[in-house]
Amino acid sequence: MTSVAEAVTRPGAAAREVPAGRRPGWWGTVLFLLTDVAVFAAMLASYFYLRFAANSEWPPAGIEVPKLLKPAILTVLLVPSSIPLIWADLGIKKGQRGRLIAGVSLTFLMGAAFLGVQYTEYAEKLKEYGPSSNAYGSLFYLITGWHGFHVLVGLLGLAFVLAAAISGRITKHHHARVRMIALFWHTVDAVWIAIVATVYLSPHL
């Protein structure tokens, strides 16, 4: 008859004790992102409210309608950056650490390039108007700046994942942090699409 000690130390016994379903960290990330998306939604709603409440030219006189070249470049850099991250996540599930490192590195470079281009856009626009110039300027810098901060946080998370992958701490069986940073990054990408439609495209309509 199998003893209690043998039963609990048998290979696979520990695995049966692991709760099924998503990890608490995953659910925590989802709840945080839902709250964060709600904040962005409030910002975009404020943009439309003030635009229509102004009952006048938008953007205000003296400010050009946003040009679309920089936002197009920013979109091309950020939105497709989710693809190598998805590829990396699927790779580590198969134990392919090199694929994880390559995918995360590419996403990191694309995100860093996004912030670089956004910096050049700010340098141009600050010559025309600033955050305190009017309601339009305040909303533009608040919305795009808050999103840029999220990209920066995402880059820090990607750097953490990359360092852990290189050191071998992320494996086929321990890669929850990859899923969580990927979920954050994909959300930041989706929010950017809404920002482009609101801040850059809607003034042309």
- Sequential pLDDT tens for the chain (205 residues): 445 445 434 544 444 434 456 777 778 889 999 999 999 999 999 999 999 998 888 999 889 999 999 999 999 999 999 999 999 999 999 999 999 999 999 999 999 999 999 999 999 999 999 999 999 999 999 999 999 999 999 999 999 999 999 999 999 988 999 999 999 999 999 999 999 999 999 999 8
| Tokens, residue 44 | 């975009």
Name the 3-class secondary structure at 28.
Answer: helix
20 — alpha (psi -120 to 50), left (phi > 0) or beta? beta
Residue type, 196: V
- Give the pLDDT of residue 21: 60
Distance of CA 89 to the CA centre of its chain: 15
Predicted pLDDT of residue 42: 98
Domains and CATH numbers, the chain: 31-57+65-204 (1.20.120.80)
Q: Are 164 and 177 in contact (CB under 8 A)?
A: yes
Q: At what angle do helices 97-125 and 82-93 cross, to 10 degrees?
A: 160
Cα maximum dimension of the chain: 87
pTM of the predicted model over 0.85: yes
